[in-house]
């Protein structure tokens, strides 16, 4: 059964493999990270881990029983009780409910462990799967926007009571 873990230094090789294996798949729905991301991955991973240790971000990986990365769910730009949610699931694991389960789990962590009171997210209007994950996990539309030149939607999710749209059970 997949588990969500806070990103560690030793996740770097598996995370890089995940990003490489899914680069084309991700680029079909979100802007490509570019060659520089892959060339400077190790240095960037070190920087992000330092930022996580400083409480600026909370990075998570969704791993299978063999510690192979199936996805990532990140809370970035933590400030004033809020953070922006971002997530991506491997092509081979898509359509299995993993994104919904992982986002629900991060919402619980965000409120209970990280002391956040709200989350924000954005997605393009043509990314129906992402919009579905957000609405299933209690995010509410917060207005249209442009995302890298494409029509998009912003979302917000209050974390006031620590429960989700399913009463905080994490099922569904």
User: What pLDDT score was predicted for residue 95?
Assistant: 94
Q: In the prediction, which pLDDT does 172 show?
A: 34
Q: What is the pLDDT of residue 30?
A: 83
pTM, 2 dp: 0.90
Q: What is the pLDDT of residue 29?
A: 82
Domains of the chain: 3-158 (3.40.630.30)
Q: What's the pLDDT score for residue 161?
A: 54
Token pair belonging to 70: 């199936």
Pick from 87, 158, 166, 156: nearest CA to 116 = 158
Residue-level pLDDT at 61 = 98
- State the pLDDT at residue 1: 85
Cα dihedral 114, 73, 44, 150 sign: negative
pLDDT profile of the chain (172 residues), mean per 10: 95 97 92 93 97 97 95 98 97 96 98 97 93 97 92 94 46 34
CA angle 25, 16, 137 (to 5 degrees): 60
């Amino acid at each position: 059964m997949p588990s969500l873990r806070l990103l560690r230094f030793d996740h770097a090789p598996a995370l890089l493999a995940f990003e490489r294996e899914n680069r084309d798949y991700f680029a079909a729905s979100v802007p490509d990270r570019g060659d520089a991301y892959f060339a400077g991955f190790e240095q960037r991973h070190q920087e992000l881990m330092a930022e996580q240790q400083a409480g600026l971000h909370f990075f998570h990986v969704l791993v299978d029983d063999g510690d192979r990365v199936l996805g990532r769910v990140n809370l970035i730009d933590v400030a004033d009780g809020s953070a922006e949610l971002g997530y991506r699931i491997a092509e081979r694991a898509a359509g299995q409910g993993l994104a919904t389960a992982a986002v629900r789990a991060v919402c619980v962590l965000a409120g209970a462990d990280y002391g956040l009171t709200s989350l924000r997210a954005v997605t393009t209007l043509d990314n129906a799967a992402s919009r579905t994950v957000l609405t299933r996990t209690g995010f509410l539309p917060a207005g249209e926007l442009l995302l890298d030149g494409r029509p998009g939607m912003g979302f917000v999710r209050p974390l006031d009571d620590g429960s989700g749209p399913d009463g905080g059970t994490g099922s569904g």
